[in-house]
Amino acid sequence: MPECGFDAIDTNVLENQTSVHCLMRRPIAKRTIRPKVSTMPRQKSEAAAFLDIYKLTVEKKRLEQELEYLEQRRTQINQRLAVLDRQVDGLENTVEELRQDAPSPQSSDSSNRSEPPQNDIFDMLTLDY
């Protein structure tokens, strides 16, 4: 199976469905960033030192860009959470207003109301893919 960061796979459930396991990923906080290791040992020289400086500089730039992207994403998520909070507050206020405007259950005639069916049984549907 391809490696894409899945913690555990139940092969009995996912028989021949390797694309499904890539949807779940490990928590990012537990991973450490490892430096790339060259498989070919180099002699200590000025050129080798400059190559190492270049590789470290490229990695640093990549990590800074990734951090900038994560900060932008965090800002987007916080803005969306604020919008959701405002929407929830607005709907809660609407519910409260509707409760206050609705006649109390004691003053209305309960015999005119039809009770909704109490059938809590759901039909199960299985999809194979």
More confident residue, 101 or 17: 101
* Annotated domain spans of the chain: 1-31, 39-99
Q: Report pLDDT digits (tens) over 29-73.
A: 677 877 776 767 778 899 999 999 999 999 999 999 999 999 999
pTM above 0.85, yes or no: no
Question: How deeply is 9 buried, as exposed, middle or buried, from its count of CB atoms within 10 A (0-12, 13-18, 19+)?
Answer: middle
User: Can you tell me whether residue 111 is helix, strand or coil?
Assistant: helix
- Residue 1 confidence (pLDDT) above 70: no
- What pLDDT sits at residue 19? 43
- Residue 5 confidence (pLDDT) above 50: no
Q: Report pLDDT digits (tens) over 84-95.
A: 999 999 999 999
Residues whose CB falls within 8 Å of the CB of residue 51, separated by 6 or more in sequence, listed in order? 42
Averaged pLDDT, 101-110: 63
More confident residue, 1 or 72: 72
Residue 5 is given by DSSP the state: S
